[in-house]
Amino acid sequence: MSSPRLRTQFETLFEHYNGMDCGVQLDEITEILFCTRRNARIVLNKLEEEGWIEWHPAPGRGKLSQLIFKRSRTDVSETLARRYLEEGKISQALNALDKDTAKLAQVVESYLGVQQQEGQHVIRLPYYRPLSMLNPLKPMRRSEQHIVQQVFSGLTKLDGNEQVQPDLAHSWEMLTPKCWRFYLRPGVRFHNGDLLTTEMVIESLGTLKNKKLFEHVCDVRSPSDLVVDVSLSRPDLRLDLFLTESCAKILLPQSHRSEQFDRFPIGCGPYKVTRNDDKRLTLQAFDGYFGFRPLIDCVEVWVIDDVNATMIFPSLTRPIKQTSIGEFNDEVELDPGCTYLLLNRKTGLAQSDQWASYFSQKLNGLELYRLLPQEKIVELGVLPAHGLKPGWYHKAPLPNVAQPPQQTKVKVAYHAQHPMFTVLVKVIEKTLSQDQLEVELIQYDIEPPDVDDIDIWVKPMGISANRDDALAGWLLNYSDIERVSPEVNFHQWQGLVHAWMEDKHTAFPAKELGRSLVHNMQIIPTFHVWLGVSKDQCGALQNAKCNALGWFDFSQVWVKPDLGSN
């Protein structure tokens, strides 16, 4: 890439000659650039390589060479800004435009969004961090769950209305409450060309036994080709729903996976990963997909440095821009979960009811919200949470514990590279330090640090559906609650889910579960986040409906052609 110095040298020449083509001598260039004849030739050659000028040297001393300007100063600045943008260096892109945020917004708007590239429809979307963990069997963050749903297929899936639909299984039946039978589609292939076999499905489903949500799976076998029976140790009338979870996607056998499978997974979903590094994730439509091929040929997620991520719009975590507190576009809705504080009630300070009461009282969502800088509330699009889901109100029955039981260190862990958490933990630190508590902030990426050594986690719920029963998968698969809660409490919450699984006519006990988690001071709800996809930002993109993960289903959108008034 051309250096900022080269751009400055071009601007110096452009301003000196007012952008007019002219005949010059090399000695004149050396005086303007304050350099030697040799360096002047190097600079002119580089400027010509960039396509910014044409330089036609005249042989013989005293003859005039021709300097032709092919680009304006603005063109060069925007070109350089685009190159920095491709590398995710938005700060440098802003500097290339003389810190003009309006110009940067124009460059970004023209570069991202819906593009035509070599006859293909391409969507370029900004994000604030790399999406490096795309293995459904490993812990994933919220956005990775969405990408996994685009890359992999499961036996069943949720449609746009969050109803269970066929996927790799074209039909199924519950033979008994403890045995389900699934009928597989023939001719399905993975992105690498491997044919999906019954044995692959059996192996993939067999790994689910290690998940709390599927610990009752005791046997998976095939009575006939393309038929799979799943036997359970206890009744489950909702197995087809649970198999829509990200962790239940069907994977290649372990022996067929490369060492880079986490970053470059191979599934049989509508999109395949063709690039995934610290700068960009590229998803290409899979022509061999067994369902309807996506109408968008390519989706590119561009990593923009988090310092300036809020300047990029539309954003995938904050897709609707808020102008002031409480003012939002009518197309948005609240995150179906919340950001919460998870207390370590097993081995942390909060194993003491006094400490748990102190934390729940001191760090409740409303108090933390009041301490957030107003510009951050606007920027991040948050509201205080009074329960796990919007509209719920759950409050722990707290005694008045105005002071901590003792002066000590409190260890707070949070996801690195998260624009809200870095602000929130500073507020938590400030709040606790007012009571003379020392706070140690611990960052982690995907896997939490040593569980026994942490007192409070800042966590997002990251549930993938608006359905109340999505709390079941969150509780048992993604929440880490089992690891930090008293065994008797977790068994109680797990029992609520199990009782619902065994009774088809019972509504999921969502509010009871949420109330118990808060009343037992296991969780402190803090904020809800606004989600949505602005029609103004979608342009020609159709059907870009925001899902519960804050993204839209790439496989369901399309570009409406501009046919004018005819």
The last residue of one of the domains, among 32, 55, 71, is 71
H or E element in which residue 40 lies: helix 37-49
Cβ burial, residue 225 (10 Å; 0-12/13-18/19+): exposed
pLDDT tens digit sequence for 350-384: 999 999 999 999 999 988 999 988 877 877 778 89
Specify the number of domains making up the chain: 2
309 pLDDT higher than 60: no
Closest CA to 67 of 39, 92, 41: 41
Q: Which residues contact 157 (CB under 8 A, 6 or more apart)?
A: 149, 164, 165, 166, 167, 244
Residue 339 CA, chain-centre distance (Å), reads: 15
Q: Is 137 within a domain?
A: no
Q: Is 121 within a domain?
A: no
Tell me the CATH number at 391.
3.10.105.10
Boundaries of domain holding 27: 4-71
Tell me the CATH number at 46.
1.10.10.10
Q: What is the predicted pLDDT for the residue at 251?
A: 96
Q: Is 411 within a domain?
A: yes
Q: Is 224 within a domain?
A: no
Q: Is 427 within a domain?
A: yes
Q: Is 52 within a domain?
A: yes
Q: Is 50 within a domain?
A: yes
Residue 226, by phi and psi: left (phi above 0), alpha (psi -120 to 50) or beta? left
Q: What is the predicted pLDDT for the residue at 322?
A: 44
The last residue of one of the domains, among 71, 94, 119, is 71
Q: What is the predicted pLDDT for the residue at 329?
A: 47
Closest CA to 460 of 134, 146, 130: 146
pLDDT band at 12 (very low <50, low <70, confident <90, very high): confident
Closest CA to 315 of 446, 135, 129, 147: 129
Beta-bridged to residue 301, according to DSSP, are 125, 281
How far apart are the C-alpha atoms of 550 and 319, rounded to whole Å? Answer: 8
Q: What is the predicted pLDDT for the residue at 320?
A: 39
Q: Is 48 within a domain?
A: yes
520 pLDDT higher than 50: yes
Task: Output the average pLDDT for the chain.
Answer: 85
